[in-house]
Structure 1
Amino acid sequence: MPFEPPIEPGQQRLFDTHRDLTRFRRPSTHEQWLNDALAVDHIARAWHAAQATAEAHGWSARLLAEIRATLLTALCCRPADEPVRYSELQPLAAARRLPVERTAALLAELGMLIDDRPSSLDRAFDRQLHSVAPAIRADAEDWLRQLLSGTPRSRPRSRETVGEYLRAAAPLLRAWSSSHDHLREITVDDVRKSLAELPAGSARTQALISLRSLFRHLRSQRRIFRNPTARLAPGSVSLPAILPLSETDYQQVVAAAATPEHRLALALSAVHAARPGDIRRLQLEDVDLGDRRVTIAGHVRRLDDLSLKAVKEYLVHRRARWPSTANPHLLVSGRTVYDTRPVTSYYINNLFRGHKATLDRLRVDRWLEEALNRGPDPLHLAAVFGISTASAIRYAQAARQILEDDTTPP
């Protein structure tokens, strides 16, 4: 079957159609067919871009062949001015096990992709606000999107912060939707009653902070007549007591560190108090084996024997498993080995999931241990670990309380 070139760019289309790429079949004897296909400019450009990216990122020959097959499937049926929709590529992952995600990233770099997937924010809206009244949901979504984009008077908030606002406000919005159609109907008494039903402490305080932000936004947009939270102030939040991990907790997490990745993350968290996000972002150039130093979030730390052993063991493992990877990050996974992204937050946080001594818990326990062994000096904690003044003071006070309790006679 000869190659049939796509229609010329610029030809008018009566309507857009969703192409079923799983029906594409390339002829078994396809050398001439492939030569004809590569004579088309936009197909040849994608074909050679795949080769250049493969050389830059250390792709295997098999991965390059699979991505090129996906490119041919997606591009041979369309003109140069018709981009590929992600929703058209997605069925190829299940039907033929083709690397759709990497192909889509390549097409996006070439300006040939329309990413029509629902955003993570839209999925969060559907999950948290599914039973909210339409008018209330519209106001809430507009508020959250403005938090993300920012205003001339306020900086944009991160997706994590916006997610916290949504999680705190959503239960109250769902409850109000059973008896109200619009947020302009909400009174001060409604807010007080809803907050009183929440557990005292951080949950109630975070809910009030979220509601104040929401109603302040609606008042500025003149969507409500008055702000029912204007005279309500968040109460003080009593933070939980900071206590050291037990020896059993450490034994369990050490026993669970069965891979070089686990042991590296364990050493960086328990010895150097590295945050999970800092571990994700560590690059190979941050590790200096000759001088036994590692730079974590801009702070240079000396590698002790345990940490040095963990780093060397992981580097040997990394080199043996992925010898051709060009990813500059220290930690790589099967999903990031062929590009330059860091591993995901889920990858890091999942290393010791289910244990009391998570990476975050190991980090704060290291702060507390330093304060107990070197004295409860917040200046020392801030200088050694680069933490904020408030955190340093809090952990110094916790260490001081523990030391006083140990010296108090029974």
Structure 2
Amino acid sequence: MESDDPVLVAAAVYARELGAAHDWCGETTNRCLDALVTLLVGRPTGNRVPLTEVRTRPHRLASRRRLVEILSHFDLLKDDTEPPIRAWIERVTAELPPGFAEPAHHWLLTLLVGGARARPRSPRTLYSYFGSVRPLLAHWATSYDHLREVTRADVDAALRPFQGNQRHNLIKALRSLFRHAKKNGLVFSNPTAGLKSQPVDQDLLPITNDEVRSIEQLASEPLERLVVALSVEHACRTAVIRKLTLDDIDLPNRRITLAGHNQRLGELTHRALITWLDHRRDRWPHTPNRHVLLTTKTALRTTPVSQKSVKPSLSDNGFTIERIRADRILHEALTAGPDPLHLSLVFGISHNTARRYTTVAERLLSDELEQAVEP
């Protein structure tokens, strides 16, 4: 390429180097060089190429991605495109009636760019917030002409079907919207003032029936069934299961010692133990290892199995021993009553941990009571 423009010459040399490094065919390289000529010839020194021009001016067969790479290398590219999030804001708010579109549009733009006392929020936050409130705004727009007409009773009625973290996230979004609207004079009062919600501890949510069935299907081997049984009935931690020895088990009297606490052996665990011990005896009849759980490696030693061996297929499918254990403790709190002292004595957990479980149990029981009395 013959040219007196040093910028174009440097870009062309770099393009050829890229082509050689990435095995471009001759036609691809020539199209890239032609596109560089189209974009750079006659451009004033220091005047960078707008990205919108890169996308529209060169021949349609020229690679835009390669052109962007070359121009960026020489700091010759200026991104003049509108961020997708701004186009999204314009589109989604335009779908609302004016009395709701204006405050929603103002709110989302402020979240995006920030304000005097507010930091900019990520597009992900905007998508989450507006995704939560959008159905409510559309519903209120069927009865009202403006957001300012929405009352606390409307907010409470809208929140009633939601529970747990879904309710918590919706309240956060509504409070953000109405606080912004009140601060900027877009509404007369804030119907979410004083509205509070705490998120449900995700680690302590009850295991669903579908998850129970999945665990039953996954725990197909004797070792896995015993691990699950100890977690489900006795809320055992992984470390306790690994260190369990034959001396801790009294099958004739249906007793088991877990972490130094002797207790009645549950029916599910009793059956799983018999099955596993039969398998253990057949597989490793002369092992010197007194630990209940064995693998091919530990059968030749006296050490407990590794932590990974205790949860083979379960953890690969999103289920953990801690999750199953937490479900057992929560079930006790729901059935025997949310008493932290009772949970501490039964499961040997700290008072603070017991309070976590009782707090979740109280909320779940309260939600069930509210649903029962609703007309």
Q: Judging by fraction of residues, say which structure has more helix.
A: 2
TM-score normalised by length of structure 2: 0.48
Q: Answer 1 or 2: higher relative contact order, Cα 8 Å, separation at least 6.
A: 1
